Amino acid sequence: MTRKVNRATAAVWAGEKDYRAHGATQVPVVNSVSYDYTDLTHWYDVATGEAAGHIYSRNTNPTVASFEDKVRQLEGAEAATSFATGMAAISNTFYTFLKPGERVVSIKDSYGGTNRIFSDFLPHMNIEAVLCDTDDHEALEEEIKKGCKLVHLESPTNPTVKIVDIKRIVKAAHEEGAIVVVDNTFATPILQSPLTLGADLVIHSATKFLGGHADALGGVLCGESKLVGEVYHYREINGATLDPHAAYLLLRGLKTLDLRVRKQTENAEKLVEYLQTHPEIADLFYPGLKNHPHHDIATEQMRGYGGIFSFSLKGGMEAVRKVLPRLKYANRAANLGAVETTVGPANTTSHVESTEEELVNLGIPSSLVRYSAGIEDFDDLKDDLENALSILEN
C-alpha cells in the first residue's frame, strides 16, 4: 500500500507536472488571454466542460490551474477555484449561496473586511447576518438552530487569535442543512485541515502564508466539487480572476510553505514565552498559551499554534506609538504571513474600517498589536522586541 505523501512534499510537488511544458522543471506563466482550436467540436466540448482545456483566461488558465491543484491537494479537497484576492474568495462565496430572506451565522471578531460584508453589504440584500461571541459556542449553536443557509467560521481569528471548535459547530450546522465555510488563512493546511473536521468549504487569503513573500495578491476556495463549481461559475461571470503571474508567485511561495510555517510557529511560541513575563505587557493572545480560553480546542484540532500572536501594552496606544517605530526587524504594515516579521495595530491593519466603538464591541483592545512572526533568527527578534519595549521603562 502506497503511503500518503506528507504535506511538506505535497507543497513542493503537488499540482505541477501536468502543467509544465518543453521539459521545464517549473510551471510557466501563461499570459495568453485566449486559446486556439482548429477542431470546432473539441472547442465546443472544452467550452461546455465536456473536455479538459482552456478557452479564456477569465475562466481558467494553466498557471492558475496549477496553483489551484496544489492547494486542493494540500487541503485534501475534491476541487478548488481561485480569486484575485482573499476578500474576493469570501465575498464570491457569500454571494453565490446567500439569497434575499436567508440567514448567515458567524462570529463577531472575524477579519474586519469580512465583518463589513456582514454589517454593510448583506443587509442591503435582505440577508440577515447574525454575529455571535466567538467564546460562546452555545450561542452559535442556538442561532444555527433557528435556521440558516450558511455558517462562516474563522479559526484562529484575526487579530485576537481565538479558536472555534470546528467539529462541534459543523455538527450543529449540518443538522440544519447549512453549508459551513472555514477561513483557514492563519493556520494554513500545514497546521489545520477544516475539511477533515467536517467543514464543506475552506478559504484562504493566499496573499498571506500561502504566498509568503508579500508580493502577490490572491484567494482560493477548496471543497466538495459541486459547491466549488457553483462558486466558480459566479466568479467566472463576475470576473474576480486570479492573474497568472500572481498565480506563479503563489506557486513558488507554496513550495516552502511547510518550512516557513514551522519556523514562524517556533518563533511565535518562543516570543510569547518571553513576553509572558514582560512588565509592560497588559494582555497576550496566543492559542499556545495554557491559559488561553481555547487552548484545549486548538491542541485537539491543530498541528501547531501558528506564527501569529497579539498583545496590548499597559501604556495603551501612546505606548504602541513609541514601541513600533523602534522595531528594526519588522515591517509595520497591513499584512501577515510573510517571511519578514510584520506588526501593526488592529486599527490600521485588520480592522482599519472599524471605529473605536466598533472595536470595543468586537472585543478588540484599541491598543492591540498583531505580531506576525517571520523566519528570522529568534534571538534577533527577541532582542529587537526587548530593545523596542525598553523605551517604556524610562
Residues with catalytic function: 58, 111, 183, 208
Query: 117 is written with which cell numbers?
Result: 460584508
CA torsion through residues 285, 390, 318, 376, sign = negative
Compute the distance between CA of residue 120 and CA of residue 114 in angstroms, rounded to an integer.
10
In this structure, what DSSP letter does residue 119 have? I
Q: How far, CA to CA in Å, does 319 sit from each of 42, 281, 328, 368, 384?
A: 65, 10, 17, 11, 16
**Residue 283 backbone dihedrals phi, psi, to 5 degrees:** -140, 150
Cell of 101: 430572506
Give 357's contacts (C-beta < 8 A, 6+ positions apart).
none
Closest CA to 70 of 161, 164, 217, 204: 204
Query: Cell 466542460 maps to which residue?
Result: 49
CB contact at 8 A, 166 and 140: no
Q: Using an 8 Å Cβ cutoff, are 242 and 96 in contact?
A: no
Please state, in angstroms and rounded to a whole number, the distance separating the CA atoms of residues 101 and 316: 42
Q: Taking a C-beta distance cutoff of 8 angstroms, is the pair 313, 367 a contact?
A: yes
DSSP 241: P
Return the exposure string of 160-199: e unless at least 16 CB atoms fall within 10 Å of the residue's CB, then b.
bbbbbbbebbbebbbeeebbbbbbbbbbbbbbbbbbebbb
